[in-house]
Copies of this chain bind each other. A is one copy, B any other.
Amino acid sequence: MKPRRTRRSAPPDHRTRVGRERRARTRARILEAAVRVFGEMGPDAPVIDDFIRAAAIARGTFYNYYRSTRQLLEDVSTWLEDELMESIEAEIPGVEHPVERVAMGMRLWMRAAMDHPEWCAFTVKVPRRPGRVERILGGDLMGGLKAGAFSFTSPQVAHDLVVGTIREAMKRITEERVPRTYGEEVAAAVLHGLCLDRRRIDKLMKVRLPAMARPLRSLG
């Protein structure tokens, strides 16, 4: 009897951990399915049945995690962007100059867009809210301005140039075939828009892009 009782009275932190891990796995399963569903159907068309079918879960399970498709959409959007930004940040902390960080960050972002078509399709269809991207990018843009390398009339204009151009390029990537160099060309055009010196742009674009150390499994 003793071993049985021991198992029954396993320390609560163990059971809590197991439960938490199971919850995280189920949430990831719903989120991964949701990326595909939203990417194919857009942000407004899907109904809850689409998600429970794609994730192969019971209806009750869905409601344990989300109350509505809108709530799921917001969670997916934040989850994906956080994951990509963490992966990019993992590459650029060793890159000290803000101008180099902006250039490397945009190039890594565009490579991810070209390598992960499901993520790209999802992202262009979902209206996004400012978040982690704005905080990191905004700081580096101002750093480059103060260093006299960038030139722009306001942080807002610089943001709209960077984010707007990249979003439009991501839209194109989901709609048509683009050359393999497209992401690099877009990043260079944005750096011109920030008035960076041409020779410096040429030099930055020659820096070899690192392979992402953190895998982006969720990005399809």
Does A189 lie at the interface of the complex (its beta carbon under 8 Å from any beta carbon of B)?
A: yes
Contact A193 B165 (CB under 8 A): yes
Does A164 lie at the interface of the complex (its beta carbon under 8 Å from any beta carbon of B)?
A: yes
State the CA gap A151–B185 with chains docked (Å).
12
State the CA gap A186–B153 with chains docked (Å).
9
CB-defined contacts of A179 to chain B, threshold 8 Å: 154
**Known interface pairs A190-B193, A192-B192, A193-B189; A160-B169 also in contact (CB < 8 Å):** yes
Does A92 lie at the interface of the complex (its beta carbon under 8 Å from any beta carbon of B)?
A: no
Q: Size of chain A's interface in residues, with CB distance under 8 A? A: 35
If over half of A's interface residues share one DSSP class (helix, strand or loop), that class is named, otherwise mixed; here it is helix
CB-defined contacts of A186 to chain B, threshold 8 Å: 157, 160-161
Total copies of the chain: 2
Does A188 lie at the interface of the complex (its beta carbon under 8 Å from any beta carbon of B)?
A: yes
CB-defined contacts of A164 to chain B, threshold 8 Å: 164-169
CB-defined contacts of A160 to chain B, threshold 8 Å: 165, 168-169, 172, 186, 189
Does A195 lie at the interface of the complex (its beta carbon under 8 Å from any beta carbon of B)?
A: yes
Give, as a whole number of angstroms, the nearest-CB distance from A39 to chain B: 14
Does A56 lie at the interface of the complex (its beta carbon under 8 Å from any beta carbon of B)?
A: no
Contact with B along A113-156 (1 / 0, CB 8 A): 00000000000000000000000000000000000000111101
Give, as a whole number of angstroms, the nearest-CB distance from A7 to chain B: 52
Contact B189 A192 (CB under 8 A): no
Give, as a whole number of angstroms, the nearest-CB distance from A88 to chain B: 20
Does A44 lie at the interface of the complex (its beta carbon under 8 Å from any beta carbon of B)?
A: yes
CB-defined contacts of A85 to chain B, threshold 8 Å: none
Query: Residues of A at under 8 Å CB distance from B?
Result: 42, 44-45, 151-154, 156-161, 163-169, 172, 178-179, 181-182, 185-186, 188-190, 192-195, 198
